[in-house]
A and B are shown apart, each in its own frame.
Chain A
Amino acid sequence: MTELLRINDLKVSFKTDDGLVHAVDGVSLTVNAGETVAVVGESGSGKTVTSLSVMGLHKKGQAQLSGSISVNDHGTFKDVISLNDEEIRDIRGRAVAMIFQDPMSSLHPFYKIGNQLAEAYLVHNRGKKKEAMVRALEMLELVGIPEPKKRAEEFPHQFSGGMRQRVMIAMALMNSPQMLIADEPTTALDVTVQAQILTLLEKLKKEFNMGILLITHDLGVVAQVADRVNVMYAGRIIEEAPVDDIFYAPLAPYTLGLLKSVPRVTANNDRLKAIPGQPPSLINLPVGCPFAPRCEYKEHSAESGCNTTRPELLGTSATHRARCHIPESLRQELFAKEVKELLA
């Protein structure tokens, strides 16, 4: 397995008038060729900040980064955090490409689709205009846009939302990057189009052996395409596991809470089971487990101190780890019952 991305102990903080916001607090994860790694979490959990860090897309002078982000640039690993502007620019779109949440606003309204695609190629292959246009048409064809020649001459506003996201994907593929970051790629789309885009991403992953870092808050999307999952909460990964384990044997109370809060057609009670409370302020995190104030299983770990120490990311299995003070065996037992109810 080729490793494409290795994030190690990434910390990102932003200066604000109220104090330092610790948006990402020690995140480590890897993405290998041919797999989709999902990062799941609610708004403000740090998932988008993590993905923007990989591209070096934070506003200059605003974000403070530490740790390392190693990107595999066709065989050589480069640490994005220590690169200068020009070196990061060289990686963007070529080694790692990114697609965004809102395809309606992610394309420049004044330029033709074909030219916008070609530009992505031209910034890394100066002067090869003809080649760029040919490649643009190929990519449009590849992502399933009918009549690419005609469509390339059109402007973004002449495309539907789903088509625009396809264009964004085509643009990301212009330089055949090994790694694709998809930041909530389907959030702004309606459900049927969502499925098409996800299928397309799956197809590309298989065809080009790409690694995909999928940022989402939608567990349905995760279930459909992810191979491995990282659940984020308050800037940290609170559970990491292969996708099946996340859904069938979660080990973090927060993950279970997320699963329970998914609305279900079969459920006959009409209230949603939301996680009580609010995510903590990222300026003043609680001393103990950041999730403790909202955790309904806290009483099971009276002696281990949810309110005094931060739990480490631990697990008996090498691939499945979670941050929780409750003994793992007890959690397995407690959560198994709930999952069974959910699946019933």
Chain B
Amino acid sequence: MLKFLSQRAIFAILTILIVSAVVFGIFSILPFDPAALTCGQRCTDQIISANRIRLGFDKPIYEQYWLFLSGIFLGRTYGTGSAAFTCPAPSFGYSFNENACVTNMIGEALPITISLAIGALIMWLLVGIGLGIIAAKFKNRWPDTSSSVFVLLATSLPTFVTGLALLIWVSIKWKWVPLSLSGYTSLFENPFKFFQYFILPWITLAIAYAAIYTRFTRAALLETLGEDYIRTARAKGVGERVVFFKHTLRAVLAPIITLAGLDFAGLIGGAIITETIFNLPGLGRLTLRSVYEFDLSVLLATTILAATVVILMNLIVDLFYAVLDPRVRIT
């Protein structure tokens, strides 16, 4: 087990290194002068070349990459003398557009995106698996048919439609959930405000995913119900409820969790549309803004972060799968 874990960890680190190198390489060959992007319209060549030296863009690419990597662990100081400023470790660079260390910017955006993703995940798992179970249990009867209607609607409506609809009707017209103008409040500070802030974005994201999970759960349950080992359980005299909720559901859980882990990782990368509609200053919005503003250091950091989350979630899903399915268990 320990051997497996360390192997996977080494593999994960290597992957992240490669991803970061590739991203770094891509950004270095983009037809922009990163130093020129650091100052506004009234720019002189002197300022640009001074900034180039301050930010280390004058150094060869491999040295820049090395500085970037070492900054993650050691922090990084830009410039010299009285003009020097430091981004402490872990430093992912400095954004001139915002005049802030990238790490701090991500640190502000990440809790919002994580809250959004976790809340939506819980919601869509509950709704998706729940509806899937009901649909399978009442196959071809009205609960199943009505769940298909939900699935059809939810999968065909894009998030910008459901999100806007929720915002317009639930928030603005009916005033069920007031528009939160005060911004993000953490769960521990004020749970009520937290839920108020996130409930509509959660629902928006959850609707789209819940539909997929409903379909998946229903199909997997029905397929498993036809398995030989389910017939064996019935032949033992196991009651129908235990057959369904113990023998069948247990077998279906493993693939659902795999799917959920990967979907969750995708969301951490940023739910750009949902964050934009509801004006959530999360990672998705941060990424989007940095694309518009050619804020390369932020873009580099968010890309690497997204890749890291995907790799980590893959690892977690694998470990979880091993717990759930003895056939892939490592001894």
Contact = CB atoms under 8 A, between A and B. Distances in A.
Given A85-B240, A110-B251, A155 B326 contact: yes
A94 B237 contact: yes
B233 interface: yes
A168 interface: yes
A105 B239 CA distance: 20
Given A109-B325, A157-B327, A100 B232 contact: yes
B234 A92 contact: yes
B211 to A, nearest CB: 27
A97 B232 contact: no
A123 B229 contact: no
B236 A120 contact: yes
Interface in A93-122: 93-94, 97-98, 100, 102, 105-111, 119-120
A109 B237 contact: no
Given A97-B235, A98-B235, A106 B229 contact: yes
B247 A108 contact: yes
Q: How large is the interface on B (under 10, 10 to 19, 20 to 34, 35 or more residues)?
A: 20 to 34
Q: How large is the interface on A (under 10, 10 to 19, 20 to 34, 35 or more residues)?
A: 20 to 34
Contacts of B254: 110
Contacts of A97: 235-236
Nearest to B248: A108
A84 to B, nearest CB: 12
A89 interface: yes
Contact of A89 (B229, B237, B247, B250): B237
A123 B236 contact: yes
Contact of B237 (A100, A111, A120): A120
B236 to A, nearest CB: 4
Contacts of A109: 229, 251, 325-327
A260 interface: no
A55 interface: yes
A124 interface: yes
B233 A108 contact: yes
A312 B231 CA distance: 35
Contacts of A123: 236-239, 242
Contacts of A89: 237-240
Interface of B: 227-229, 231-240, 242, 247, 250-251, 254, 324-327
Given A102-B228, A124-B237, 11 more contacts: A57-B234, A92-B234, A100-B228, A105-B228, A109-B326, A110-B250, A119-B236, A120-B237, A155-B327, A157-B326, A171-B232
